[in-house]
Structure formats: structure tokens, C-alpha cells
Amino acid sequence: MEDLTGKVAVVTGASSGIGEAAARLLAAEGVHVILSARRRERIEALAQELGDKATAVVADVTDADQVHALFDTVRARFGGLDLLFNNAGLGVFGRFTDSTPEDWRRMIDANIYGVLNCTHAAIPLMKERPGAMISSVSSTGGRYGIEGWSVYSATKFAIVGFHDALRKELGLEGIRVSVIEPGAVWTEFGHNVPEEALRERRANLDALTAADVAQALVYAFAQHPRVLVEEILVRPVKQVAP
């Protein structure tokens, strides 16, 4: 494994769940982490806890201007970027026939436009940085359609397709493009699923912790720059389907 000391990472959705866990683990590995999300108080508290290993920058990934401001800050403060962790995202649960265009738009904006906005702004900062990596969080729902999550699944399938094409565009420049597809994880995700049902499902599956997923990210990032861990599907062993 490579030494990550002094690397620079942007983590979107760092205010909770997988993003927060990734930020903690990266900082523990010596990476300077730019924590981004909409909830200022959460990322500022985490930045304070992580000390000189973290900087908080509020941004809504669906807003291209805010995303540009975020990466302008990265350029001004650090001169470049080694890791973009496109983790921010959301899912609205429900049968497709009961869903609304507003639900679709929220998921498409955060899960697709968010990744596109951040990736587009980040790539110029990743040139000539050995081992630079773009990692985006898809889902097992990005590999298999999941009942009740049809539009969410569509957005996560889109990320897998986008990354496969982007990998071919950026590989010869040495920029690694990688996808993580988690199964069930104990986080705040699933805001409109009845709380008891969500807790029961995660308990029955012995769901992953956010730190388990963070380990997968760091595993991929800490490989030698010639090594691309292209895709990691990581699920609770008891989640046998889908």
C-alpha cells in the first residue's frame, strides 16, 4: 500500500454516513480532506475535530456555481487534487407509480448532476498528480434494479456507465476512475423509509458500517498509481439478494 501522507482529497457528502467515515479514515492516513456538504454546522464540527487535516467548504453539488467555487478554493489553497470522492447522494423510496417528477428531479440532480459537476471541475486539478483518482459511490442498486428504488437505481446505473466511459478517456493520462457499489449501510440514507422497517432490514442483514465502505475507498486509493481498482461491490454477507 502507498503512503497517503500529504495527498489532497475532496469528499462530497462529508456531513454524515459514508462521507464522514471516509473523511475520518483519509485524515487518519495523513490526507488533507476538504469536507463538503450543505449542512455547514456538521462539516465545520468535523473539520474542527480533524484539526489541520481538514477544511470545510459548504457546497450543494447540484449547483454548478457552488461546485466551481469549491474547486477554486481547492486550487487556491492546495494547487491540485489527488482524490475526488463523489459520495453525496440521496434516494427517495416508493413505487414508481406513486412517485412524482419532483422526486425524480431531486435524485437525478444530486446523484447524476452532482457527480458530473464535481468531476468536470476536478479533472483539471488532477493532471500530473501520480495516483490521482476519481471514485464515485453507486450502489448495488446501480447493478441490479431494486423494487421501490426504480429511479434511484436508474441514477446509480448511470454512474456506472459514466465511469466506464470516463475511465477510457482518462486512463492514458494516469487518472484512475473507480466506482464503489455498497449494499445496505447503517447511515441516514433512506429518509422516507419508515424508521422501524429500515432498522429491521439493516439489523436482519447485519448491514455494513459506513467505516466498512470507507475502508474500500482507502484500499483502492492506496494502491500503486499503476493499479486501478475499477469497481468494488461491497455488501453485507447476509444481503444475498439483489
| Helix and strand element counts for the chain (H, E) | 8, 7
Q: Which is nearer to ligand NAP, 115 or 133 (CB)?
A: 115
**Interaction between residue 150 and ligand NAP (CB under 6 A):** no
Q: E strands along 42-150, which residues?
A: 54-58, 83-86, 133-137
The whole-angstrom separation of Cα 74 and Cα 239 is: 38
**Interaction between residue 201 and ligand NAP (CB under 6 A):** no
**Interaction between residue 139 and ligand NAP (CB under 6 A):** yes
**Interaction between residue 61 and ligand NAP (CB under 6 A):** yes
The stretch near ligand NAP (CB under 6 A) out of 31-39, 70-78, 117-125, 221-229 is 31-39
- 6 phi and psi angles, rounded to 5 deg: 85, -5
The stretch near ligand NAP (CB under 6 A) out of 55-63, 95-103, 164-172, 218-226 is 55-63
**Interaction between residue 15 and ligand NAP (CB under 6 A):** yes
Cβ atoms of 58 and 37 within 8 Å: the answer is yes
Q: Which is nearer to ligand NAP, 90 or 126 (CB)?
A: 90
Least distance from ligand NAP to the Cβ atom of residue 127, Å: 25
Cα dihedral across residues 122, 125, 126, 130: positive or negative? negative
Given 54, 74, 182, 198, the residue binding ligand NAP (CB under 6 A): 182
**Interaction between residue 85 and ligand NAP (CB under 6 A):** no
Q: E strands along the chain, which residues?
A: 8-12, 32-37, 54-58, 83-86, 133-137, 176-182, 231-234
Cβ atoms of 15 and 42 within 8 Å: the answer is yes
Residues in contact with ligand NAP by the rule CB under 6 A? 12-13, 15-19, 37-39, 42, 60-62, 87-91, 110, 114, 137, 139, 182, 184-185, 187-189, 210
